[in-house]
Chains A and B, each alone.
Chain A
Amino acid sequence: MYTELLKLCSFEPDEIKRERPRIDKAFKILGIEKEDIKRGEQRLKENLDMELLGVRRFLGIWMRELVNLVLAREEHEKIVYSDFPMELRPLMSMMLSTDEKKVYFATPGQILNMTMGQIFDKLTPFLVAGEENGLPPGAAHCALYQTRLGAMVKGIIPFPDLSVIASYHCDQPAEAEQLLHEVYGVPVAYLDSCPDPNWGDWPKYNDYRVRYCGSQARKLFQMFEEVVGAKMTDEAKRTANRANAIFRLKFQQLVELIGHADPQPISQTSLVHAFFLNSMPTRDIAGKQEALEILCGEVEERVNQGKGVVEKGAPGVFVTATISVDPSITRMIEESGMAIRIQIPNWLSPWVMARHPYREWADMIGVGPCLDIPHSCEAHVAINLANCKAFNVDGAINFYPFSCREWVPTVMITKRTIEKELGIPVLVLEGDCYDTRNYSAGQLRTRVETFAELLRAAKAAKAA
């Protein structure tokens, strides 16, 4: 029943045949029925640039990970979980220090979002289970953590032997993992830091903050070695750093290529799968790099041919909605006739690429949480502004996830800053990156279409 769907996700017939028993078993546990498959196929065709092989390759990686995740307990001795916003480099380094057959690594929340959410639109049972088991509704808990908790409690995915989580970017992951520890006895290792830079500090970071975060990274690796029984290797660290850098830089090139092209060559929804692999420790490193190279080539071809998904000359916007679960907001913006030049946090500011004075590997890991968006509200706003300037946009749409305690305080400050500094309008939309029950594209459509009209009129007036 799922052959066509898997072909859409770039599975070869041989692989489908070989993997059928595993896929059957996983889909049965997940409760994926015929109508879900049909809906999945339809959603993919409606929302993504499915004619691009690069997009299909990325979808394949996520689908394989879904099956691996569900069967992880019976196929591996140990399971390690993490989730956004944990740094990928330490995760990959830990993963590559272990035997693939023995230890399974995943960011289960992201996998479920990208597959059960984006493809099948079937996340609600997990969210409800998460709400009933310690992350109640109506309190703006992070839906990413509700989903993963719910899936574990329902027995759809296994509880891990270790959870590795970051507390620097937002408060919720560490709080949710305390619950996992206290109620279900899961050991948790934290990458800790403090979001305490003073206004005016950006883009500097203080040494003791980096050192503290570095010390927490060392502690984390020690706990990993104790629980998993593996030794971190230098080779794994080198491979992880190299692979991460190569992928990130290529992704940056792709983002810039799309952002500066007119017309916009592909939908921004088609970039989401690649973007979230920046925080998902898949073992298929070669596969994800190859998918990215293919996608880059395909986009370049479209740019050269002048093909686009939005009319040439359309007003360009900066959008803050990299939504893994729901493509409808991004699609609606594009269908309203606006070219999404750039979506945060796809593009890295030059500062992130800068050299820093730290040589110890753990301290280098510690630098990450002290930079860019995790640095401060001031940095968050400055980066939004830098995005708008770099891509010369005509307006900005600040779609903010209301349950994100890091993001919420920046909303009005970002709006006022961009409007004041660049003289372009900013539309604020409220929603959720991980839970579609709290908003709908239809509800927001009138405002988006009005905003598009405003930008078109302003652009026409400017041209005249």
Chain B
Amino acid sequence: MEAMKKLSDHLATRLTELTRLRKSGTKLIGYAPGGYMPEELVYASGAVPVGLIRGGDPEPVAESAAYVPRFIDTFCRSQIGYRMMGGDPLYEIIDLLVVPVTDHNIKTIADCFNFFTNTNVFRFGVPHQKDEHAFEYYLAGLHAFKDKLEEFTGNKIDNGRLREAIDLCNRMRELLKEISILRRSERPPITGYDFVKLNHASYIADKRIFIDVLESVYQELKGKPSSGPKGPRILLTGSTLAMGDYKVLEMTENAGANIVVEEFAEGMRHYWQNVQVNGDLMQALADRYFRRREPPAWFRPSRERLDYLIELARDFKVDGIIWYQLMYRSSYDIQAFYFEKMLKKELNIPMLKLESDYDVSERGPLRTRVETFVEIIKASGGR
């Protein structure tokens, strides 16, 4: 696919481009990819957002042990490890790290960057439920973040620039959604693996180039006859799906199943909802990023997320769910316990719970479990 090649070429030179931008005075704003940091504000301030979403490698996890004991979510420890190892320049060229605090795992990234490095860190809070007071709290955090960006970049965020940035990000989400929806067809024109890589690229790529790529990909896939492989349709969900952590995707698709939709708290950009630009733009951002954002497992009541997953499973006609969580993300571990029963009752489809600490030795047992799961679905009359 020509468009994918263009994206690949762009990503290959993106670091050089970001370095050049930084030298010319543009601020680079790194952020934890939990879906609560509106990139629109960063663009409107004249800075460039950079999602820190690498994961899946064992070395950074091992490295992090010098700074934090192991009983913190694997992805969060990885972020600390990548920064301390110094192997990934993206973690070092950022001027400011923004951490929307969702739980103590994510907060740990901010604490370690604060204490052990010279990185500027800014946090704002994400309450765990959605009443009006919680909305106001999140909104107050966004205003504080806006103030911080203005102070940090020296640029005023006015409504015109913010509106422009919202339009840009809305268009990107629309396109990701259109492409994702194509996977509702019986033989999806794009694999889960390719879609996830596309989604991950959205955290790093230049938005305008990325939107061009998405336009082309969408046009190409739309006109393409459904030729994807037939196989059990899987919903992949869980705590974090990081850039580079593709083992479950590969194992599942190699076993003959199709991952047709994903839902993750972190790592995967949420594209189902757009910012509605009628009225106050800050309120509109809070509405999109907090009130209408699909909630992660630590939100209460937990039914909102579980009902949403069931709806997604129904909508994409899935035959099974793979629940992929990282070690010590306790909210996901607990929710998996009762979601499996709920799923059985409401859709009568199976669920496979997998857990990872980004350890190489996990691969064998994980592969066996994934293959068995796919075989069970096939044997029980799934596709």
Contact = CB atoms under 8 A, between A and B. Distances in A.
B71 A196 contact: no
Given A134-B338, A179-B337, A196-B123, A141 B330 contact: yes
Interface in A403-420: 403, 405-406, 408-413, 416
Nearest to A428: B69
Interface string A101-128: 0000000000000000000000000000
Contact of A400 (B69, B103, B141, B330): B69
A134 B133 CA distance: 31
Interface in B108-131: 108, 110-112, 114-115, 121-129, 131
Contacts of A195: 101, 104, 107, 125
Contact of A190 (B103, B126, B300, B327): B300
B105 interface: yes
B114 A199 contact: yes
Interface string A193-214: 0111111000000001101100
B337 to A, nearest CB: 4
Given A197-B123, A216-B133, A412-B67, A171 B104 contact: yes
A143 to B, nearest CB: 12
Nearest to A179: B334
Given A195-B101, A403-B71, A405-B105, A178 B301 contact: yes
B129 A409 contact: no
A215 interface: yes
A29 to B, nearest CB: 26
Contacts of B129: 190, 192
B104 A167 contact: no
B221 interface: no
Interface residues of B, number: 49
Interface in A432-462: none
A135 interface: yes
B193 interface: no
A212 B137 contact: yes
Nearest to A411: B69
A192 B135 CA distance: 13
Contact of B121 (A135, A176, A198): A198
A39 interface: no
Contacts of A46: none
Interface in A358-408: 377-378, 400, 402-403, 405-406, 408
A286 interface: no
Interface of B: 66-69, 71-72, 101, 103-105, 107-108, 110-112, 114-115, 121-129, 131, 133-134, 136-137, 140-141, 297-298, 300-303, 327-328, 330-331, 333-335, 337-338, 355
Given A199-B111, A208-B136, 15 more contacts: A139-B330, A140-B328, A141-B334, A174-B298, A194-B101, A196-B123, A209-B137, A211-B133, A212-B133, A405-B104, A409-B108, A410-B111, A411-B68, A411-B69, A416-B115
25 contacts: A134-B334, A139-B327, A140-B71, A140-B330, A141-B330, A171-B104, A172-B330, A174-B298, A175-B335, A181-B301, A190-B300, A196-B124, A199-B114, A199-B121, A208-B140, A377-B108, A378-B114, A405-B328, A406-B104, A408-B108, A409-B68, A409-B104, A409-B107, A409-B111, A430-B69
